[in-house]
Chain A
Amino acid sequence: MRGVGRTGPLGESASSRTDVDGRSSERHHWIALSLVPGIGPATFWQLIERYGSATEAWRAGPDALIPLTRVAPEAPVAFMQLHGQRPRVMAERVESRTTAAGGRVVTALDTGYPKALLTLDPRPPTLYVVGDDAAFDERAVAIVGTRRASGYGLSVATEIGHDLAEAGVVIVSGLALGIDGAAHRAAVEAGGRSIAVLPSPIDRIYPPRHRALAKRLVSENGALVSEIATGGSVGRPDFARRNRLIAGLAEAVVVVEAPDRSGALLTAAAAVAIGREVHAVPGPITAMASRGCNRLVADQQAAIVTSSAGLLRQIGLAGGARPPAARALSEVEGQLLNRLLERSGSLEELVDRTRQQPSSVASALSLLEARGLVSSFGGATFHPTLAARRLTKVV
């Protein structure tokens, strides 16, 4: 099981070997390895798996790639070209470039590595981050959509961004024009935090029009994050990587508006592939801009969003104060929830089952409803929601 702090082949903790001591440390090797063009996360982790550490993998050189599967064709040649350099030099160079750009390098070995990505498989070995670490510790939801957004899409993105941010959720998006931008803006306007995942290095904000927005995100306790090394040669923006990382950082992805073949749909697909919830905002069937979202719902790839409040409930958010992942329920409430998880029931049945007073069952049930853990869907029977089921599966 890959994870931060896994022990190396000699049994010592990888993170303990990040100190510079004149020779290249594991962390230097780690960064150097991830800098090799063609060695993406999948290849990287295969190497670690085989060789036990980045140091060993580096030492093995390009030949190490031979037994691996699905290696990019440019990788062996690139590795060979870079193999002559010393990892420490490579790492320090990219780190100084990153620091000059106002950021820092965060590897999977470091404690500051976003915890959300631990469930992403394979996760990026090295990230370049600007801004507040703490932004990665909160609950995060991604809001994505088309660059050519309509007024409807922008207003919905703004509303959802605002409401989620008010509920203490960090908004993750791709800093793109259109929906992404609206979501980021709404988050900071609401006094919340936002993380922008860039398809480019952190010293080259893409799109250029959103440079000011990116600065603002950072100054409002948010963060910018990229998988692409700072100071690298100018290449095309890597949207695929970015979309996958967006999905990885969030617990749920909300697609606000997307025509057919929109990149936002790829983010949704990435989310589905890594087990994140996808929600889609429908639009008129005559609107080209909504075809993608409508299709997601029709194909049952996404849960339909019919209101911002409804979305919050689906995600299991208590509006208002920033809630921790699982706010404590009182004993009465917990018992009641357990009963409903066993079998849905009406208030009358619950009173009978629990042998409590109607007033106390009613107030406990009401609290569960307000927290989005149960819903009656307008009828008399109360059912636990998705949020409740997730709550009880927390390890």
Chain B
Amino acid sequence: MLATALSASIAGVDGVPVRVEVDVAFGLPGLTIVGLAGSAVLEARERVRAAVRNSEFVVPDRRITVNLAPADLPKEGTGHDLAIAIAILVASGQLDGDRLPGTALIGELALDGGLRPVPGVLALVAAARVAGARSIIVPAGNAPEAAATTDVAVHPADSLRAVVRHLAGVEPLVAVGPPGPTTDDGEPRLDAPDLGSVVGHRVARRVLEIAVAGRHNLALSGPPGVGKTLLARAAAGLLPRLEDDEADEVRRIHSVAGLGERPTGSLHRPFRAPHHTISTQALVGGGPRIRPGEASLAHRGALLLDETLQFRTDALDALRGPLDSGRVTIARVDGVRALPARFMLVAAYNPCPCGWAGVDGHVCGCEDGTRRRYQARLSGPMRDRLDLHVPLAPVATGMRGLREPSAEVARRVGAAWERQRCRQGRANSELDADVLDARHGFEPRLLALLERRGRQLGLSLRRLHRAARVARTIADLEGSSDVTRDHLDEALLHRPKEAVA
């Protein structure tokens, strides 16, 4: 007999619907799983056998073939266990399959028949929905995460028996509703220091504001203890809330990465700050199952590289792709996979190993060669992708400071984001070069000035375009629809310059 159940699998950061087909036939007894099943999936044989037996059902002594369709898509993970078990029961006549169509089954089976949570359930649920499922059965442990999905009924279950009883109509599982409207409006982030606690650094605050307002890549450099990390982390507190569609995207990615602890309904933008010893794969993603890396976890948010120059050089270089395109592209034999990774980069580093190069009144104690080698770790191409740079110096005693709290700055930043959204639907940092036109507030006179500045300052076209985008953000912060020469000049002043000799 033949039976089919609906399930889903993870490919990259997305879910893909999977049809579990089970055929019970005469022949040498055995359970075979086909369909490019990975090792964890193949082990389902043992899990399913034990779980079925311990749930007081029987795995028939027949030739059982399980096919996971589409058969040319590699299947990973343990989430198909439940679907396989149910399909076997239906195919062997132990369960009536009437209620099976339109229901997706997701979950790992314990040997005792219990249902265990799996990572990426959001993506799996989304995939099932796309495949036409109207109800999805998930492990109880995944219920909070899965519940965020709307317009499909999510039924948590804790055992195979419970699922069977539900499908038999004997004891339906309770559906969980979607959570109420997001509850953390205006809740302060716990991971971000408040700008109000930063003394001085008026220029750095201003540039930080500009950077976050336009999602421009920012570099903070300076001697140890000057406040680079403090300011960099304060940026987290300035990021506006996620839009609903962005929130879904972010939740899905974090779910696939197994970070299900992201509270459902959280609209905080991701702020990732990996340690500099991180591997390239963990930073940009990859591995045999193409798991998302920090770059993807920072999607729609910010990625802080504290001690940038201590990161592995190939890890830093691997970031060039996402910085340009907003995607991590991983090429494999069976095709090219793209993981979303559109983030704002914040780099914080010392100008040299001793930390004092280029600081007025201080002498760098490093050897020339050492300093140059250190600075070369931030390669030219990487430096090229930075939009803003603030060299920080120790705050002089007695410096007056505004001590404006983050909430005030965040308000201005939020207004600027809104203007960008209304005008062009994206952040200024995501604009192409051919967008330097009147529609975006660039009058011909300003473009002529831009060209002249390029010649006066010896700047490349790429650098000029970046400055133009920053100028557009400065104009947005001011609420001006036109970009003026003051905006452009300020943007140019904060451009990253060549390393200190």
Contact = CB atoms under 8 A, between A and B. Distances in A.
Interface string A367-387: 101111000111111000000
A365 B490 CA distance: 8
B358 A372 contact: no
A369 B474 CA distance: 19
A369 B393 CA distance: 20
B151 interface: no
B445 interface: no
B202 A348 contact: yes
B360 interface: yes
A320 B203 contact: no
A191 interface: no
Contacts of A362: 203, 206, 489-490, 493-494
Interface in B445-488: 452-453, 455-458, 474, 485-487
A127 interface: no
Contacts of B494: 362
B358 A378 contact: yes
A355 B401 CA distance: 10
Contacts of A371: 456
A380 B360 contact: yes
A238 interface: no
Given A319-B452, A347-B203, A358-B203, A363 B490 contact: yes
Most buried by A among B399, B457, B474, B493: B493
Most buried by B among A319, A348, A376, A377: A348
Most buried by B among A307, A344, A345, A380: A380
Contacts of B489: 362-364, 366-367, 370
A131 to B, nearest CB: 29
A351 interface: yes
A19 interface: no
Interface in A275-320: 307, 309-310, 312-313, 318-320
Contacts of A319: 452, 455-456
A119 interface: no
A391 B151 CA distance: 72
B456 A318 contact: yes
Most buried by A among B205, B392, B486, B487: B486
A369 B501 contact: no
B493 A366 contact: yes
A320 B206 contact: no
Interface in A322-364: 344-349, 351-352, 355, 358-360, 362-364
Nearest to B487: A363
Contacts of A376: 497
B456 A307 contact: no
A380 B391 contact: yes
B393 A359 contact: no
Range class of the A interface residue count = 35 or more
Most buried by A among B206, B453, B489, B501: B489
B357 to A, nearest CB: 8
A47 B360 CA distance: 56
A366 B490 contact: yes
B201 interface: yes
B207 to A, nearest CB: 8
Given A348-B201, A351-B203, A378-B499, A320 B486 contact: no
Nearest to A350: B203
A370 B492 contact: yes
A380 B393 contact: yes
A343 B359 CA distance: 15
Contacts of A381: 360
A355 B402 CA distance: 11
A347 B456 CA distance: 20
A309 B455 contact: yes
Contacts of B474: 359
A185 B453 CA distance: 26
A309 B459 CA distance: 10
Contacts of B359: 380
Interface in B345-361: 358-360
B203 A348 contact: yes
B490 A352 contact: no
B400 A352 contact: yes
Most buried by B among A347, A372, A377: A347
Interface in B182-223: 200-206
B432 interface: no
Contacts of A346: 360, 391, 393
B500 interface: yes
22 contacts: A307-B458, A309-B455, A309-B456, A346-B391, A348-B202, A348-B203, A348-B204, A348-B393, A351-B203, A358-B206, A359-B206, A362-B206, A363-B485, A363-B486, A363-B487, A367-B489, A376-B497, A378-B498, A379-B360, A379-B500, A380-B359, A380-B360
Given A320-B452, A348-B203, A359-B474, 19 more contacts: A309-B455, A309-B456, A309-B458, A310-B458, A312-B456, A313-B456, A344-B360, A347-B493, A348-B200, A351-B202, A352-B399, A362-B493, A363-B486, A369-B492, A371-B456, A378-B497, A379-B391, A380-B359, A380-B391
Ranked nearest first, the 6 interchain pairs of A and B with the lowest CB-CB distance are: A380-B391, A366-B489, A366-B493, A363-B489, A379-B358, A358-B206
Interface of B: 200-206, 358-360, 391-393, 396, 399-400, 452-453, 455-458, 474, 485-487, 489-490, 492-494, 497-501
Interface of A: 307, 309-310, 312-313, 318-320, 344-349, 351-352, 355, 358-360, 362-367, 369-372, 376-381
